Amino acid sequence: MPNPLSLQDAQRLVGVAVAESQRRGLQTAVAVVDARGDLMVAVRLDGARHYYPDLAYGKAMGSAMWDEPSRVLSQRSAGNSVQQRVNRLNGDRIVFAPGAVPLRRDGVLVGAIGVGGSGPDSDEEIAMLAAQSLNP
């Protein structure tokens, strides 16, 4: 069994995503959750809208809960009564939009990272880049 995601891991992942957002001149927010979807770290870059952290967290939560990229979840969420019910059970905090990816260590889900605020493709690219840094 691999080590669970640590606070140090989460902070490093956020650092990679923040650096990439800044390199691109984007004002995003980044959230990292554990394998259950519970928030570990969330940050909002200077100038980012106040609700971007909630978007990043909601994307990451869904990605961890279903162990799939949030893009995949977004493509089937409208007609998926189970996803909608689970979202309601979680206070409608899950965001079914591209921008989050699961985090794996030794092939086992340990969490997810979500990015919000720069558009679906860019959010996803930044999340994927950061996720790659988990297992250097």
pTM (predicted TM-score): 0.94
Cβ atoms of 19 and 93 within 8 Å: the answer is no
Quick one: the chain helix, strand, coil %, rounded to 5? 45, 20, 35
Domains, in order of start, for the chain:
7-132 (3.30.450.150)
SS3 assignment, position 9 = helix
Which pLDDT score is estimated for 79?
77
Give mean pLDDT, residues 119-134: 97
Per the prediction, the chain carries an average pLDDT of 95
User: Tell me: the pLDDT tens digits for 59-91?
Assistant: 999 999 999 999 999 998 777 888 889 989 999
